[in-house]
């Protein structure tokens, strides 16, 4: 524990003054933005932390990250295991920039060994801001509640104009079609009219590494050449 925080605890018992927490939050924002400013073209990967190196999902994530890295993208993840590790692995094996934005958890979050540059965050909301503002491309592989939270967060920020219209790729039709076609299109749009038709163009569903690379090349005309 830093000396200043120890002194504040000594003065205030078990309840350090709130201003110290504010300074810590500000410091996390500053450190995060300073890190991200180093990279001109970046792709952030999201997805489950539960897949293993022998899983098809892991292999596809590694391959896509490798090809995007060879095409000039810095690869950014949450820095943990599963698809995060796979993406960082692809970037590292390609000799590219591999970044991890880790979260500090009570039981610890293991930083995967393929992260070259990292920043750790105590506050989830600060880390979410960093992930939402980190890239020129967002790639979502199948995942759990956290992946869904991050997907809808970024889609909402784009929809409301809070961030620029960043391309969003959803990988795996078997996983994403029930959400995009059965719920977003048929329920949110057709039945309840809670979104506009153009909101369904904010993301692109792909079903292979080749398709993801081709879509990226289409979206980044002249700035990215699909790697073989």
**Per-residue DSSP letters for 169-201?**
EEE-HHHHHIIIIIIIIIIIIIIT--S-GGGGG
| Residue range 74-93: mean pLDDT, rounded | 97
| Residue range 8-25: mean pLDDT, rounded | 65
Q: Locate all alpha helices (DSSP H) within 13-116, ordered by sequence.
A: 18-36, 56-70, 83-93
Where do the domains of the chain lie, and which CATH numbers do they carry? 38-219 (3.40.50.450)
CA atoms of 68 and 75, how far apart (whole Å) = 8
CA atoms of 71 and 215, how far apart (whole Å) = 13
Say whether pLDDT at 13 is over 60.
no
pLDDT at 4 (0 to 100): 46
What would you report as the CA-atom Rg of the chain, rounded to the nearest whole angstrom? 19
Structure letter (DSSP) for residue 122: S
Residue 93 structure tokens: 């094996």
Among 122, 134, 217, residue whose Cα is nearest residue 169: 217
Angle at 164 between CA 161 and CA 168, to 5 degrees: 105
CA atoms of 183 and 54, how far apart (whole Å) = 32
pLDDT band per the 50, 70, 90 thresholds, residue 104 = confident
Each residue's pLDDT tens digit, 130-179: 998 889 999 999 999 999 999 999 999 999 999 999 999 999 999 999 99
Cβ-proximal residues to 159 (8 Å cutoff; 6+ apart), any chain:
195, 199, 202
pLDDT at 134 (0 to 100): 83
pLDDT at 133 (0 to 100): 86
Q: What is the Cβ-side half-sphere exposure of residue 85, based on CA atoms within 13 angstroms?
A: 19
CA atoms of 193 and 181, how far apart (whole Å) = 14
Among 60, 107, 98, residue whose Cα is nearest residue 79: 98
Say whether pLDDT at 76 is over 90.
yes
């Amino acid at each position: 524990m830093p000396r200043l925080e120890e002194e504040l605890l000594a003065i205030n018992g078990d309840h350090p003054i709130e201003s110290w927490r504010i300074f810590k939050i500000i410091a996390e924002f500053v450190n995060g933005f300073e890190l991200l400013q180093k990279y001109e073209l970046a792709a952030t990967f999201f997805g489950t932390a539960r897949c293993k190196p022998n899983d098809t999902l892991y292999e596809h994530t590694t391959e896509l990250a490798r090809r995007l890295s060879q095409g000039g993208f810095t690869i950014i993840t949450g820095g943990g295991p599963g698809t995060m590790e796979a993406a960082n692995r692809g970037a590292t094996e390609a000799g590219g920039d591999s970044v991890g934005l880790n979260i500090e958890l009570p039981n610890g979050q293991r930083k995967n060994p393929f992260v070259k540059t990292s920043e750790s965050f105590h506050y989830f909301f600060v880390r979410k801001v960093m992930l939402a503002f980190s890239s020129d491309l967002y790639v979502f592989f199948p995942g759990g509640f956290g992946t869904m939270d991050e997907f809808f967060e970024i889609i909402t920020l784009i929809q409301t104009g809070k961030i620029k219209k960043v391309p969003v790729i959803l990988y795996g039709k078997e996983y994403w079609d029930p959400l995009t076609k059965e719920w977003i299109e048929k329920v949110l749009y057709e039945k309840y009219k809670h979104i506009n038709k153009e909101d369904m163009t904010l993301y692109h569903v792909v079903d292979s590494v080749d398709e993801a690379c081709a879509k990226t090349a289409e979206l980044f005309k002249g700035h990215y050449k699909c790697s073989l």
